[in-house]
Amino acid sequence: MKILVINSGSSSIKFQLLAMEDETVLASGIVERIGEDEGLVKCTFKPGTADEAVVKQREVIKDHTSGMRLVVDFLTDKKTGVISDRSDIGAIGHRVVHGGEDFHQPTRITPEVMAAVEKNVPLAPLHNPANIDGIKVARELFADVPQVAVFDTAFHQTIPPHAYHYAIPYALYEKERIRRYGFHGTSHKFVAGEYARLVGKPLEQLNLITIHLGNGCSMTAVKNGQSVDTTLGLTPLEGLVMGTRSGDVDPAIHAFLARNCNLDIDAIDNLLNKESGLKGLCGLNDMRDIHDAIAAGDQRAKLALEVQTYRNKKYVGAYMAVLGRVDAIVFTAGIGENDEVVREKTLEGLECFGISMDLAVNDQRIKKPTLLSTSDSKIEIWGIPTNEELAIARETQAVLQK
């Protein structure tokens, strides 16, 4: 079966077409700057193979419907396309950011499911409306094709109440549904599953700390294969230090900024989400630029790296306490896979807890699952590339096979 994975954002649509027999990627790409003066569609056919071909097209892309139509045209193009007709697509998997408390697993899309996703818009006002647009367009263009929603929050619905409640008036949970939800669930679940597969053990018997470090960063405590705590909270702002997001701050910072810096709610929200994190500390949000700056003697860049890796370490300690026994710590995503310095500094000094990294092996970019700990480390350390599109495609297939 061929599955089309769609990740629809406010002004972009990322897509990937996979042949599930051997999980090969037939095409992947992005429609960007939807609704702007000039949009761009970029599609790579058969990426990573000898037949790889890249096609780009610039034109005005009025809305998501026009964007998706272009994707279909690209995929079915007589000369360069990889399918003859849109009916070759057996199913569509959609990334949906917020499933609230309604969705514990990927779910086939029905009118009731759409209504529940709409209900969760207040919890993810930037993301869910764009995801809904993507689903609507796909349903219009592929009326008969089964469609599945895969939620970033679903994997974390096993977190117990003592870990998901904030100590604020209970009525706010009842009325406004304020609690920890967690995000990046598809990625955490994927690498946890990959680890289980690699070591040949049932996931239900494994305790893991999975560390997703990309533009957004989060850490999850996985007990007996289930998420029992995670660093992102009501929104994707809490916890670790991210590219432009602060992670944990004293919650009173809002009142302080309002009173002393004359900032309104939107300005504070913007400051903590877009002007903070690594960028806030040193002006740079890409770890590659930060290393270049450190090499050139930039003390702020050095501080940013130290603040981020110290926060990582603090949560590793917290989750070791949460889990008791830990089988492995798994690094993934842009920084987690590519940055040996961040991995090393995150776990530095934890040898007394049975965590011992093989620094020679760690000194590489992770292209495939790699064991990074020494043979006598009590807790294994792994780098495992994440693949959210493949994860969504697998989940979609599994829902349809049920």
Tell me which of 102, 152, 327, 339 is the catalytic residue: 152
What binding mask, one character per residue, do residues 64-93 give for ligand ADP by CB under 6 A, x or -? ------------------------------
247 binds ligand ADP (CB under 6 A): no
Q: Is 215 annotated as a binding residue?
A: yes
243 binds ligand ADP (CB under 6 A): yes
Contact with ligand ADP (CB under 6 A) among 334, 350, 383, 390:
334
Of residues 264, 259, 257, 313, the one with CA closest to residue 280 = 257
Question: Among all residues, whose Cβ is closest to ligand ADP?
Answer: 334
28 binds ligand ADP (CB under 6 A): no
CA distance linking residue 81 with residue 29, whole number of Å? 13
- Please report where in the chains the tokens 């026994």 appear, as a residue: 325
Q: Do the Cβ atoms of 269 and 253 come closer than 8 Å?
A: no
Q: Do the Cβ atoms of 334 and 212 come closer than 8 Å?
A: no
280 binds ligand ADP (CB under 6 A): no
Segment contacting ligand ADP by CB under 6 A, of 38-46, 265-273, 316-324, 332-340: 332-340
CA distance linking residue 290 with residue 203, whole number of Å? 36
CA distance linking residue 99 with residue 79, whole number of Å? 40
Q: Is 119 annotated as a binding residue?
A: no
- Residues near ligand ADP (CB under 6 A), total: 12
**How many CB atoms are closer than 10 A to CB 339?**
22
367 binds ligand ADP (CB under 6 A): no
CA distance linking residue 163 with residue 166, whole number of Å? 8
Rg (CA), the chain: 21
Catalytic status, residue 152: yes
Please spell the DSSP secondary structure of 217-238, one letter per residue. Answer: EEEEEEETTEEEEES--SSTTS
Please report how close the Cβ of residue 263 comes to ligand ADP at its closest, in angstroms: 26
57 binds ligand ADP (CB under 6 A): no
Which residues are within 8 A (CB) of 96 and not within 5 positions of it... i.e. 6 or more apart? 117, 128, 131, 135, 149, 150, 151, 152
214 binds ligand ADP (CB under 6 A): yes
Please report how close the Cβ of residue 290 comes to ligand ADP at its closest, in angstroms: 8
Q: Which residues are catalytic?
A: 152
Annotated binding-site residue numbers for Mg(2+): 7, 388
Interacting residues with ligand ADP (CB under 6 A) = 214-216, 243, 286-288, 333-335, 338-339
Annotated binding-site residue numbers for substrate: 95
Annotated binding-site residue numbers for ATP: 14, 212-216, 286-288, 334-338
